[in-house]
Amino acid sequence: MKSEKFSEWLKQSLLFITRDPLVWFGYTLFMGVVLVIGRVSPALGIFLAVLCLFVGVGIAKYIDVKSSEQRISLSFAITKSLPLAILEAGVIVLCWFVFMALANIFSGEPEKIGQFFFDWHAPPDLAYKYSYELASWLYGYANITLVFTLFMMTTFASWYSHSLMLFKGYSWSVAKKVGGDLTTKHQNALYKLLGFVFLDAVLCMSVTPLLTPVLYMLTSTLMYISYRNVHC
């Protein structure tokens, strides 16, 4: 098996934009709207953010094979991706809630636990904020969610686990084992990929918040490309 390079994964992922810009940017804009919900309900926002991330992997598959003999419809790609994405999003929300609840209990602020489900606290000067400040306020949590999701995924499963379960039908345990083996073989490229995503998430929190939906779609595409190149 040839050694994979992160630069090649990134190059191939960026080319997906030109292969079907309508679908790529359309889904990105859709995520831009959905991620705003997180400012009203952190729990729902985290759930939808993770859901969009993993459904995006299925959409990347659709873009990849739409002109081949194995082509699938966009609706099929989304429908096939939803059950697993919903399950994974639920697990992430549960883990986040447990960590948050324990932190509030130990800090002597258990009354803040309920804010995980509804927490609308718009700044008093919201109407006067610049677009950059508004976008940072709207999407800040989504970038933290992305980092947390990838951390949980690579810690308790593997970078490849979602794609293996989605496209190969593997169970979590089998996907973790196979994904772990693939991670070991392509460790250098994966470390660079994760560093790239984490760095971009930090930049989106502080410098380019409006690009947060783009980062989500790019991460989904990278998940698919890195899987396709080593397992197909």
Please give the backbone phi and psi of residue 160, each rounded to the nearest 5 degrees, phi first: -90, -5
Band (pLDDT 50/70/90 cuts) for residue 42 is: confident
Domain boundaries along the sequence of the chain? 6-231
What does the alpha-carbon distance between residue 84 and residue 51 come to, in Å, rounded to a whole number?
9
Answer yes or no: is pLDDT of 113 > 90.
Answer: no
Q: pLDDT of 116-130, one tens digit each? A: 887 766 665 655 456
- Model pLDDT, residue 73: 85
Q: pLDDT of 3-18, one tens digit each? A: 789 999 999 999 888 8
- Model pLDDT, residue 217: 94
What does the alpha-carbon distance between residue 204 and residue 67 come to, in Å, rounded to a whole number?
33
Q: pLDDT of 159-185, one tens digit each? A: 999 999 999 999 999 999 999 999 999
Residue 222: partners with Cβ closer than 8 Å, 6 or more residues away: 9, 10, 13, 193, 197
Average pLDDT, the chain: 88
As given in the structure block, the two tokens for residue 160 are 């490849």
What does the alpha-carbon distance between residue 40 and residue 29 come to, in Å, rounded to a whole number?
19
